[in-house]
């Protein structure tokens, strides 16, 4: 089986784009609300994404609000000391990220006049910004057709298509291609990304997923196997 051909993985009822459309329809009725979702400011988005790495959104929320009040722009952040920044990240148990955030702010102010680039290659050269965060910036701030793939999104894709992935799923080409092919149109990037994140948190949970509430269960390999007991 070719790893690059998404239509050769197990049996499915719909094309990935139809799955994406159904998830967006579900999300429009079930979306969660957070302040970093209400802005297209790339600075506020990158701060939220750095804080959200391996940290629950509800835990991040109060720290994020205090942080952007203290440092409302990337220029304010660049003028701050690492110790000042550390006081916020310490609350999340992410003290080591303070130095990275400081380096990020300094570089963006110096090289890009305080505006995070719209180019993925340039974004990946900035401290603290990797594959996931670069795609989040491109999608949430700039409306580009980029899909954010983390362990939660991988869980949806692996269960849906009955994949057996050796190693880290988010780096697997098949998983990434299937995720990208779920995008119904270039304009739906933000909606699909948020739909995938909320669906993974509320329905397709790591433990005890709510399969009977799933709008794509009839095409889900995991659900069919579970139903057969």
Residues designated as active site: 49
Assigned token pair, 207: 């433990």
- Who's near 199: CB < 8 A, 6+ residues apart? 23, 26, 27, 156
Q: Decide: 190 and 27 in contact? Cβ < 8 Å.
A: no
Return the residue matching tokens 């148990």: 93
Containing 224, the helix (H) or strand (E) segment is helix 221-228
- Who's near 170: CB < 8 A, 6+ residues apart? 132, 149, 150, 151, 153, 154, 176
Q: Give CB contacts under 8 A, 24+ apart, made by 120-129.
A: 120/146, 127/100, 127/103, 128/46, 128/50, 128/97, 128/100, 128/101, 128/103, 128/104, 129/46, 129/104
């Amino acid at each position: 089986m070719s790893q690059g051909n998404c239509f050769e993985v197990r049996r499915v009822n719909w094309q990935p784009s139809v799955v994406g459309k159904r998830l967006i329809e579900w999300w429009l009725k079930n979306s969660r609300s957070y302040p970093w979702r209400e802005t297209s400011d790339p600075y506020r988005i990158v701060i939220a994404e750095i804080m959200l790495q391996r940290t629950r959104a509800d835990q991040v929320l109060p720290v994020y609000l205090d942080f952007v009040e203290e440092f409302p722009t990337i220029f304010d952040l660049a003028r701050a000391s690492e110790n000042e920044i550390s006081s916020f990240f310490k609350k999340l148990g992410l003290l080591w990220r303070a130095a990275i955030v400081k380096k990020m702010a300094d570089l963006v102010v110096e090289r890009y006049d305080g505006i995070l680039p719209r180019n993925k290659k340039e974004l990946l050269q900035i401290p603290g910004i990797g594959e996931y965060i670069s795609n989040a910036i491109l999608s949430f701030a700039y409306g580009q057709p980029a899909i954010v793939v983390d362990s939660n999104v991988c869980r949806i894709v692996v269960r849906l298509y009955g994949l057996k992935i050796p190693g880290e799923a988010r780096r697997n080409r098949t998983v990434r291609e299937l995720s990208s092919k779920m995008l119904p149109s270039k304009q739906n990037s933000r909606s699909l990304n948020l739909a995938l994140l909320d669906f993974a948190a509320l329905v397709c949970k790591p433990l005890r997923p709510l399969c009977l509430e799933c709008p794509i269960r009839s095409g889900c390999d995991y659900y069919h196997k579970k139903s057969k007991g």
